[in-house]
Chains A and B, each alone.
Chain A
Amino acid sequence: MHGRGDLMANEKTVIMDNSGIKRAVTRISHEILERNKGLADVVLIGIRSGGAFLAEEIGRVTEVIEGVKAPVGAVDITLYRDDVSGHLPHQAVGKTDIPFSLEGKRVVLVDDVLFTGRTIRAAMDAMMDHGRPACIQLAVLIDRGHRELPIRADFVGRNVPTSIKENVAVLFDDRNQPVEVVLEK
């Protein structure tokens, strides 16, 4: 199992189990279809790494419902981070994989956990560099609050009130399927 965040802490609570995740993804998928009146011009872009796996998942679910497959891409926001000039060694840059144009598309950005909003800001900048989408919507599995930028998700799996010191992580299995969501003190 792997997931964002360092799971070394002692106190760990499962706040969403596997079936909970499945229901949330299914609901988000329905909402995306409803909001966009189907999948015409919709593209799903997951933010590496957790968001990319969830975007694939939403792609599968919407295809089952709608019978058509929305294009799914992935974006690595490392090069767009606002803390890139820090003194730490630069981390490896993941691959951005958007093998289609975003011009005029209805982009649904997908991330696992929405926190300060800085990652979403970076991802939106990256989207703009790939063309001019008709609109950008945001889907997240967990919204844990503590926003530092004026950013709000369009589709939320669950709102989880947290303290700033806590950590929320979505764990994935070896096939990159979401397993559970844990809260660490």
Chain B
Amino acid sequence: MNLLIKGGRVIDPSQKLDGTLDVLVENGVVKEIGKGLVAPAGAETIDASGKYVVPGLIDMHVHLRDPGLEYKEDIISGTRAAAAGGFTSVCCMPNTKPTIDNKAIASYIINKAKAEGFANVFPVGSITYGLNGDRMSEMGELKEAGCVAVSDDGKPVNNPELMRRALEYARGMGILVITHAEELSLVGEGVMNEGFTSTEIGLKGIPRIAEDIATARDVMLAEYTKSPIHIAHVSTDGSVRIIREAKARGVMVTCETAPHYFTLTDDAVRGYNTNAKMNPPLREATDVAAIKAGLKDGTIDAIATDHAPHHLDEKDVEFDVAMNGIIGLETSLPLSLKLVDDGVLTLGQLIEKMSCNPSNILGLSRGTLKAGAVADITVIDPVVRWTVEADKLASKSKNSPFLGWNVTGAAACTVLAGRVVHKL
């Protein structure tokens, strides 16, 4: 299974590469990058002219719902959606049923993904056992089983003492803590961002300070314990500022945002659109601007989707009752490419945030096309125009606020360890 990807614009920030080149893949690894490479006998050739050839994209924050909630998504459908969206690796959050708080569940996910999946799946174990916020899970064994981080994503670790100890303990085990920063007492019964829109349409608001306070707390705990921390789904102006200042002080903090936080505002909720309901909620224009500024100046390291599939029955309900979250794997690339069009990021910076940085943050040994690296490669068609339609999505769930949107850019071809897993 050899492969020659010819004539594309190869962009690999890991080796500061940007030029029209050929990529030769042999036995699942990158053999050579250069001009005028000749395909060995029996190799498949992909014409990438007019396309970008980049290290396989990595989504460090998805929910695959497997095991236990397969009616929303499973490892096969979820990784198929990943491949369609140009992602060769995803990190799946532990709020499955049962929770990824032990070696057996982690192994099940890894094995199933290896056997049947269309992308690498790196599980994230839980910080606390059963996500109950009460007792640390077996982080050492989770790491051994293949978990690349721990997180209670979906809810915060409310108890500051427990969070402090988790950061310390995880540091000792060499595993990263990803925090869902949210102060629940400030969220109350809120269901959308607190602002003029919530005032006008009469939905209970979630103030930005609920995120900011928790971000500040976790950054301070990381600073105090000299432990690394990663802040998930940053959505507010305040959080960006707190992280920027912490980074300047040398705190080992990294963070991610999601395409919806730099694409939509809480105006999308008008009409009580449950597909615009997520946690943290869509914010306001000032926050969108701050997120873009944070991406531009490097405060925000990664773009992750927080792909959160929910069944129609969980979204086709009254707004307060609807579940939080939207799918994102198949819309992330075009929405993120727009940052390049809009001059927020260079193409190289975008690839860093969608591939190199997530790999570095989590130690995945991906995010590069260096000779000898695993041949996870995404070929991007930057000009193809398409419409987001429910029945064309590979994900089992269709809960996207972008349905009906006309977007530009898609994964023309996704290569997983030298094997073509998706072609447009």
Given a CB threshold of 8 Å, the question of whether A touches B is answered with no
B residues whose Cβ falls under 8 Å from a Cβ of A: none
A residues whose Cβ falls under 8 Å from a Cβ of B: none
